[in-house]
């Protein structure tokens, strides 16, 4: 097998905890046996992981990229107060990997996706997650950043055209770092939905922001982090307003004693879409 064999992902759906969950399955024809769950951030979709998944799957790794309930093509929750929270997301993740018969796998999580990974690694998927990569997320979030997220996530902007929405995304997600024009277009088109009045808006259920109202301590995860007993790599955007430097530093000394790498030219959160980031992820997951 060539070391660089492009993989065409499959778009798939499974019922998890009674909810339809969409995911992209990057499954090589000749797999190495290595499997990665790549989970996106709060108001995003699994398609954000396309660049990383394309890179890893070309090397023979299977990469599973879910849309969280209420995002992308996954079902919106009929019970948002109870289900938009890390505990339910972890239950969905467990149901997903169980149905896919995945016994051992790695986890790469951006922002909320990393928080779900922490909950899973310390709880229902303990012993099955081999390595955990946290992309600009830690056991404590900066209060100002949480307030910023609550403001925009619960009341998403709407625009007359997709081009205007793309410009909005280019502004609010500028901290991701470099994205090519094609990547900005993919980010936009894979996370756009049209409203009844014809305008377009980000493709998620605004009620998912209720997590911060009904589960205010959801992201206070130090006790969870301290129970993790596998290798952890934390990538921190140098300009991140969500994962503060002192929190990242404390992560080196507690629990799994994470390896922390600061990513220049990024805020919250590195897009995991350039060769330098691919190399970091690949080397960590391979145990090098």
pLDDT tens-digit readout, 30-46: 999 999 999 999 999 99
From 87, 35, 22, select the one nearest 61 (Cα to Cα). 35
Tokens in use for 73? 């093509």
Is 101 a residue whose pLDDT tops 70? yes
Tokens in use for 27? 């499954």
Average pLDDT rounded to a whole number, residues 279-283: 97
Is 211 a residue whose pLDDT tops 50? yes
From 189, 68, 184, select the one nearest 119 (Cα to Cα). 68
The residues near 137 (Cβ < 8 Å, ≥ 6 apart) are 109, 110, 111, 112, 113, 114, 115, 234, 242, 243, 269
pTM over cut 0.95: yes
Output the CA angle 219-222-226, nearest 5 degrees.
135
Quick one: pLDDT at residue 3?
56
- Judge contact between 133 and 281, C-beta under 8 A: yes
From 224, 254, 252, select the one nearest 262 (Cα to Cα). 252
Q: Is 85 helix (H, G, I), strand (E, B) or coil?
A: coil
Q: What is the chain's percent helix, strand, coil content, to nearest 5?
A: 40, 20, 40
Is 218 a residue whose pLDDT tops 50? yes
pLDDT tens-digit readout, 182-202: 999 999 999 999 999 999 999
Is 1 a residue whose pLDDT tops 50? no
Q: 147: number of CA atoms within 13 Å, CB side?
A: 3
Longest dimension (CA), the chain: 52
Cα distance between residue 14 and residue 21, in whole Å: 5
**Which residue matches tokens 């280019």?**
170
């Amino acid at each position: 097998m060539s070391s660089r064999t492009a993989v065409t992902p499959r778009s798939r759906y499974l019922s998890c905890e009674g909810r339809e969950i969409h995911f992209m399955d990057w499954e090589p024809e000749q797999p190495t046996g290595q499997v990665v769950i790549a989970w996106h951030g709060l108001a995003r979709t699994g398609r954000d992981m396309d660049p990383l998944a394309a890179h890893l799957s070309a090397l023979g790794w299977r990469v599973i990229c879910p849309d969280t309930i209420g995002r992308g093509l996954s079902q919106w929750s009929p019970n948002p107060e109870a289900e938009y929270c890390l505990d339910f997301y972890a239950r969905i993740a467990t149901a997903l990997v169980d149905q896919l018969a995945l016994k051992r796998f790695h986890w790469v999580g951006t922002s909320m996706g990393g928080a779900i990974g922490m909950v899973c690694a310390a709880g229902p998927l303990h012993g099955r997650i081999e390595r955990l990569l946290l992309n600009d997320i830690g056991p404590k979030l900066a209060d100002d950043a949480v307030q910023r997220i609550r403001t925009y996530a619960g009341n998403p902007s709407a625009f007359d055209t997709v081009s205007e929405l793309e410009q909005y995304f280019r502004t609010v997600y500028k901290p991701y770092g470099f994205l090519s024009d094609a990547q900005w277009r993919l980010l936009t088109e894979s996370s756009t939905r049209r409203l009844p009045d014809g305008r377009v808006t980000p493709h998620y259920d605004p009620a998912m922001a209720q997590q911060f109202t009904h589960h205010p301590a959801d992201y206070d995860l130090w006790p969870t982090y301290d129970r993790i007993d596998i290798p952890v790599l934390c990538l921190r955007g140098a300009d991140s307003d969500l994962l503060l430097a002192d929190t990242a530093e404390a992560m080196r000394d507690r629990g799994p004693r994470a390896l922390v790498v600061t990513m220049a030219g990024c805020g919250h959160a590195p897009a995991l879409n350039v060769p330098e980031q691919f190399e970091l992820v690949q080397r960590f997951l391979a145990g090098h």
